Amino acid sequence: MAGPARLRCIIRRLYHAAPWGPGGKRDPMSQTPQTTPTAPGPVDPHPLDCDEATFHLIPRLVAEHGEVVRVAAPNLDRPTWVIADPADIRRVLVSNHRNYVKGVGFERVEMLLGNGIIVSDGAFWRRQRTMIQPAFSRGNMPRFFDMVREVTLRLKEEWLAAAREGGEIDITRATSDYALEIILRLIFSDDLEFFVDQEGINPFLFLTEDPSRDLRVAMKFRQLLKQVRVLIERRRETGERPFDLLSMMMDARASRTEEAMSDKELVDEVATLIIAGHETSAGTLNWAWTLLSGDEDSARALREESRRVCPDGELTYEHLEELVFTRQVLDETLRLYPPVWLFTRRAVEADELGGHAIEAGDNVFLSPWLTQRLERLWPEPDAFRPERFAPGRDEAREDQAFFPFSAGPRRCIGEFFSYVEMRTHLALLAPVFRLRLVPGQDIALEPAINLRTKHNLRMTVEALQP
């Protein structure tokens, strides 16, 4: 046998004999590998990661093996279960969530986010989450809405200028810059200017210019966060507490000890909120405009709703709840293109999912991308149909058939705010503009940490008569 072929054969034999391979768990008393009878899955190994190969692989695995699949991934130290059934997702995220901690991949995110609440687990996570949660209370939303409206009205002026020139916009860049400014103002309010003053421009802009989240970007980001420490120090010295997340986190106290967050903890949580709150909303709005560009009926219905709810264009916070179809458009967008398309957990102790035995230490992969396109749950799953989310329709839907924000105690902390942001965006812009994709563009997907378009998309912008 030739060298590489022989090597492949040896690797294959070793893999098949491994305790996590298709030979199943070894009985310590026996030399014969025992196949776990309840382990559906491919015989061949498949590397699994937050990447394009996995993105295309998991729907295929589920179609071939069912909604609980056991995969031996040579890049992971333990067997991995890909689960798609909402009942199992509910068990992992909600009813038995104590048995599942954050899984593979999060250690990489740690370079970027430190030990912020996306990454942390256990008592430390609980403490941090309890300290941050009140900042996202409903009571704070009207004031955050004022900021969002201001940023959106500025974008409207930019698009009006683009329309006058008969021009095009880069919608991917526009929604990314927009969501970045909003998350930065949510955290720093007008002290965003503090950073701009240091550098001459908004130094966080590289996060939209360079969508990769590799080591280089992580280092640049962490470097920039040193300025956040300077700002924290300045606020402490002056006693200034503008209305924003940073002030609220600085003043938060742990319930039993009355301790405040250390500077390092504050900086990690700031980093977490920037990254978690930016690309997710940006990606959703990018996709919403893209889907609307191909569906004139939905675009018209959206426009008419905004004009009906808010005829003079003076949008208030109270109007948002009335924007029912707008919410449906956003939910259908999140169903088709969930920004967080994959999340991972690790079983602490043995459990059972879909009648299959999971062992302590096994990896579990959950994917809104996968479940939210299952035909048995979503007929014609690839079609954009906002009416799926019409009032009353969710009663017939299984919980966790739709879970773009996760579920249970680790559910997204920014969910409510993100709807405030995204509804305001569509309510103020959809009645004024018709955006159409410039034909001939490649609308490929790039599934990395977030699911985004591989290329920036260009759109023609036309200002509509009221």
Binding site for ligand HEM (CB under 6 A): 117-118, 129, 183, 272-273, 276-277, 280-281, 284, 334, 339-340, 343, 404-406, 410, 412-414, 417-418
Instruction: Write down the H helix ranges in 294-401.
Output: 296-309, 317-320, 324-336, 368-371
Please, which contacts does 73-78 make with residues 24 or more away whose CB atoms are closer than 8 Å? 73/45, 73/46, 73/47, 73/48, 73/363, 74/15, 74/45, 74/47, 75/47, 75/48, 75/49, 76/48, 76/104, 76/363, 77/20, 78/20, 78/346, 78/359, 78/361, 78/362, 78/363
CB 410, min distance to ligand HEM, A: 4
- Find out whether 187 and 245 touch, Cβ atoms under 8 Å: yes
Of 21 and 277, CB closest to ligand HEM = 277
What is the rounded distance in angstroms from the CA atom of residue 367 to the CA atom of residue 446? 15
CB 284, min distance to ligand HEM, A: 4
Of 423 and 436, CB closest to ligand HEM = 423
Of 159 and 417, CB closest to ligand HEM = 417
Of 405 and 433, CB closest to ligand HEM = 405
Categorise residue 434: left if φ over 0, alpha if ψ from -120 to 50, beta otherwise: beta
Those residues whose C-beta lies under 8 Å from the C-beta of residue 272, and which sit 6 or more positions away, are 113, 114, 116, 117, 118, 119
CB 47, min distance to ligand HEM, A: 20
Of 118 and 320, CB closest to ligand HEM = 118
CB 334, min distance to ligand HEM, A: 6
Of 400 and 460, CB closest to ligand HEM = 400
CB 137, min distance to ligand HEM, A: 13
Of 163 and 336, CB closest to ligand HEM = 336
CB 28, min distance to ligand HEM, A: 34
Helix axes 263-293, 296-309, angle to 10 degrees: 120
What is the rounded distance in angstroms from the CA atom of residue 244 to the CA atom of residue 140? 9
Q: Which residue is nearest to ligand HEM, using beta carbons? A: 414
CB 64, min distance to ligand HEM, A: 26
